[in-house]
C-alpha cells in the first residue's frame, strides 16, 4: 500500500533522517514515534505530497485513498457540524473542482483522479448523513449539535467533526496526527474500539501510550536520524528496544576489549624482531573488523525529588448540597461530596457532564448558587486549569517563572528540571508571552512540581506533552504526598495514579473506591454509554 525507500530530509542544514525506509500494508496499524522535532510530522507531509524529500521515494498503490487528520483545524465560514462531517462544506466542492480540472486535462486514468473520485463517491452517498451522525455521536456530539454553526464551537469540537468526516469516507490509509488530543475519555474509548475493527490501514502519531498499546501492531521509531522497525504495540517496542540496546552494548564492549587487547599486543611487540610479524597481524585484524557502533541508550523519564507539602487535615474539602448552573443550564442539583487526605481521584465521564465544573468548585475558582463548600485544615490549593496562559507573567522568562515559584531552588536544579521538560539551553530565557500552548503546559507543570500544594487539582495535564514528558510527570506525581483530583483522557496516566474514580454524568456523581480497572469491572466501562448513541 505504502512504501518509503531511502528517504532523506534536512531543514536549515540539520538532517532529520536519512536512508529511512518503511512499509505500511493493507489493514495494518502502525505508529510513528520519536522525540519532538525528530521529523514525524515531516514524514507525514512527504507521504501526503505536501513536502518533497531531499532523496528517496514514496510509493502508494494507485487505488489507495488517503485520509489525513492534522493536529489543528478551524471552521472557516458558516458551515454546521454536519456540513463538516459530511464534507459538503468544503471537501465536496473542492473534490468536484479537482475532478473537473483532471477531466479537462484528460488525466482521468491516473491515481489522483481515482482517489478524488473515491472520496467524492463516499461523501455523496445517499446514506452519508446517517453515517456522519453515527460517527459524531460516537465522538461525543448530541442530537441537537448537528445544525450548530461550527464557528461557535471550540477548536477541539471542530477537530472531532473533521475526524468524523474521515471515518465517513473510510480511506484505505487513515493518517492521524495526535488524534486523542481533543477527545474526552469516553470518546477516546469509542474511537479506540472503532479503529480496532477498521478495515483500512492506520498510520498515527500519538503521545497516548495506552491508545497505541490497544491499536498498533508495528512501531517505527525515528532515532539518531534513522528509522527503526519494531513489531508489536508500544509496550512491546519499549521492551524490544531495551533488549536490543543491551545486546548491542554487550557486543560493543566485547569488541572494544578485543581491540584493546590486540592493540596492546601490537604496541608491546611491534619492535621485537621475533614478534613483529605477529604484532602486525594483530593490527590488520583490527582493520578487518566490522566495527560495532556504540549504541545510544534509550531515553529514560527524568526523575527528581519533588518537595513534599505540609500535611493537611483528614478532610481536605467538603461539598454540601451544591446547586450549580450556567444561566438556565443546571449542572448540579444538591451535590454533596467529600475529598479525603491522600486520595488520588480521577473524574471520568462524557464531555459536557460537568467534570471541569466540579474541579473548579473543589478548587474554589467558580461561584455556585446554593450549598456550602468547606475547606479542611491547613489545605493549600493548586489548580492546574486547561487555560494555562492566565497563570503566567508575560514579561518573565521561563527560568524566572520557575525560580520565583520555588525561591529555595538552586538555579542548576531549575535548569535540570527545565531540560527534562524539553526547555534546553537558551530556551529558558524566552519570555512566556511567546510560548506555544504545549510549552505553557510544561512550564505550569514544573511550577506545581517544584513547590507543590497539598491539594492539587489538574484538568487534562498531559495534553500537548510527549510520552517521555508524561512519564516524567507520572514519576513525580507517584511520589507526591498530597491529595490529587484530576481529569485525563490518558488511560495509562489514569491507571498509574488513580486510587478512586468519580463517574460524572447528567449531574450525578458516583464514587468507585478503587482504581480505573475496578471502575471498569463494576460498570462494564463506557461501552453502554456510547453504544446507545451510535446504534
Question: Among 19-23, 55-59, 120-124, 420-424, which is the least confidently predicted range?
Answer: 420-424
pLDDT at 439: 82
Write the DSSP string, 107-174. Answer: --SSHHHHHHHHHHHHHT-TTHHHHHHHHHHHTT--GGGTTSBGGGS-HHHHHHHHHHHHHHH--SEE
What pLDDT digit, counting tens, does each position of 163-192 carry? 999 999 999 999 999 998 888 888 999 999
- Distance, in Å, from the CA atom of 467 to the CA atom of 464, rounded to the nearest integer, reads 10
E strand or H helix at 310: none
What pLDDT digit, counting tens, does each position of 297-324 carry? 888 877 777 788 999 999 999 999 999 9
What pLDDT digit, counting tens, does each position of 432-476 carry? 888 877 788 888 888 888 888 999 999 988 887 888 888 888 988
Nearest alpha-carbon partner for 184 in 518, 497, 490: 490
Q: Which is it for strands 14-24 and 2-11: parallel, antiparallel or unpaired?
A: antiparallel
Note the pTM of the prediction, 2 decimals.
0.84
Rg (CA), the chain: 27
Most confident region among 305-314, 336-345, 448-457, 515-524 by mean pLDDT: 336-345
For cell 504495540, name the residue.
233
Residue 174 bridge partners (DSSP): 67, 202
- Distance, in Å, from the CA atom of 476 to the CA atom of 482, rounded to the nearest integer, reads 12
Domains of the chain: 11-64+173-251 (3.40.50.300), 75-171 (no CATH), 315-534 (3.40.50.300)
Q: Is residue 291 classed as helix, strand or coil in its secondary structure?
A: coil
Which band of pLDDT confidence, cut at 50, 70 and 90, is reported for residue 75? low
- Distance, in Å, from the CA atom of 432 to the CA atom of 400, rounded to the nearest integer, reads 10
pLDDT at 39 over 60: yes
Q: What is the mean pLDDT of residues 330-353?
A: 93
pLDDT at 534: 41
pLDDT at 214: 95
- Distance, in Å, from the CA atom of 263 to the CA atom of 285, rounded to the nearest integer, reads 10
pLDDT at 419 over 90: no
In the Cβ-directed half-sphere of 108, how many Cα atoms lie within 13 Å? 6
What pLDDT digit, counting tens, does each position of 274-299 carry? 999 999 999 999 999 999 999 988 88
E strand or H helix at 341: none
Q: What is the mean pLDDT of residues 398-412?
A: 89
Q: Which is it for strands 315-326 and 370-375: parallel, antiparallel or unpaired?
A: antiparallel
Amino acid at each position: 500500500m505504502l512504501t518509503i525507500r531511502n528517504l532523506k530530509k534536512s531543514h536549515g542544514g540539520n538532517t532529520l533522517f536519512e536512508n529511512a525506509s518503511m512499509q505500511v500494508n493493507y489493514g495494518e496499524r502502525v505508529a510513528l514515534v520519536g522525540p519532538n522535532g525528530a521529523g514525524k510530522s515531516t514524514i507525514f507531509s512527504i507521504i501526503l505530497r505536501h513536502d518533497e524529500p531531499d532523496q528517496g521515494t514514496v510509493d502508494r498503490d494507485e487505488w489507495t485513498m488517503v485520509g489525513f487528520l492534522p493536529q489543528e483545524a478551524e471552521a472557516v465560514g458558516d458551515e454546521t457540524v454536519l456540513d463538516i462531517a459530511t464534507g459538503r462544506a468544503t471537501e465536496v466542492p473542492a473534490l468536484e473542482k479537482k475532478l473537473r480540472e483532471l477531466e479537462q486535462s484528460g488525466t482521468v486514468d491516473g491515481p489522483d483522479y481515482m482517489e478524488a473520485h473515491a472520496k467524492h463517491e463516499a461523501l455523496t452517498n445517499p446514506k452519508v448523513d446517517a453515517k456522519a451522525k453515527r460517527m459524531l455521536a460516537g465522538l461525543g456530539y448530541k442530537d441537537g449539535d448537528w445544525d450548530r454553526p461550527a464557528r461557535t464551537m471550540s477548536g477541539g469540537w471542530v477537530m472531532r467533526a473533521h475526524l468524523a468526516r474521515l471515518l465517513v469516507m473510510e480511506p484505505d490509509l487513515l493518517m492521524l496526527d495526535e488524534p486523542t488530543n481533543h477527545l474526552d475519555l469516553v470518546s477516546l474509548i469509542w474511537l479506540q474500539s472503532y479503529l480496532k475493527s477498521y478495515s483500512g490501514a492506520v498510520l498515527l502519531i500519538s503521545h497516548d501510550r495506552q491508545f497505541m498499546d490497544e491499536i498498533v501492531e508495528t512501531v517505527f521509531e525515528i532515532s539518531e536520524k534513522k528509522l527503526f522497525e519494531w513489531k508489536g504495540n508500544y509496550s512491546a517496542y519499549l521492551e524490544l528496544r531495551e533488549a536490543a540496546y543491551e545486546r548491542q552494548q554487550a557486543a560493543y564492549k566485547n569488541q572494544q576489549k578485543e581491540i584493546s587487547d590486540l592493540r596492546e599486543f601490537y604496541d608491546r611487540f611491534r619492535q621485537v624482531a621475533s614478534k613483529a610479524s605477529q604484532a602486525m597481524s594483530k593490527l590488520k585484524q583490527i582493520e578487518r573488523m566490522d566495527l560495532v557502533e556504540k549504541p545510544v541508550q534509550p531515553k529514560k523519564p527524568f526523575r527528581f525529588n519533588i518537595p513534599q507539602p505540609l500535611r493537611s487535615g483528614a478532610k481536605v474539602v467538603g461539598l454540601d448540597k451544591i446547586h450549580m448552573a450556567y444561566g438556565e443550564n443546571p449542572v448540579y442539583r444538591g451535590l454533596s461530596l467529600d475529598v479525603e487526605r491522600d486520595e488520588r481521584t480521577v473524574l471520568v465521564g462524557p464531555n459536557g457532564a460537568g467534570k471541569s465544573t466540579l474541579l473548579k468548585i473543589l478548587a474554589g475558582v467558580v461561584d455556585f448558587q446554593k450549598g456550602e463548600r468547606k475547606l479542611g485544615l491547613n489545605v493549600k490549593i493548586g489548580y492546574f486549569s486547561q487555560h494555562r496562559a492566565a497563570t503566567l507573567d508575560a514579561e518573565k522568562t521561563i527560568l524566572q517563572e520557575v525560580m520565583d515559584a520555588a525561591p529555595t531552588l538552586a538555579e542548576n536544579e531549575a535548569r535540570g528540571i527545565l531540560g527534562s521538560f524539553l526547555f534546553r539551553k537558551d530556551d529558558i530565557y524566552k519570555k512566556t508571552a511567546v510560548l506555544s500552548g504545549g510549552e505553557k503546559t510544561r512550564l505550569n507543570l514544573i511550577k506545581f512540581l517544584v513547590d507543590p500544594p497539598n491539594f492539587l487539582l489538574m484538568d487534562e495535564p498531559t495534553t500537548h506533552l510527549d510520552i517521555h514528558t508524561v512519564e516524567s510527570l507520572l514519576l513525580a506525581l507517584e511520589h507526591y504526598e498530597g491529595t490529587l483530583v484530576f481529569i485525563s483522557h490518558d488511560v495509562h496516566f489514569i491507571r498509574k495514579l488513580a486510587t478512586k474514580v468519580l463517574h460524572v454524568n447528567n449531574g450525578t456523581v458516583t464514587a468507585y473506591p478503587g482504581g480505573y480497572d475496578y471502575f471498569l469491572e463494576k460498570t462494564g466501562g463506557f461501552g453502554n454509554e456510547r453504544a446507545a448513541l451510535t446504534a
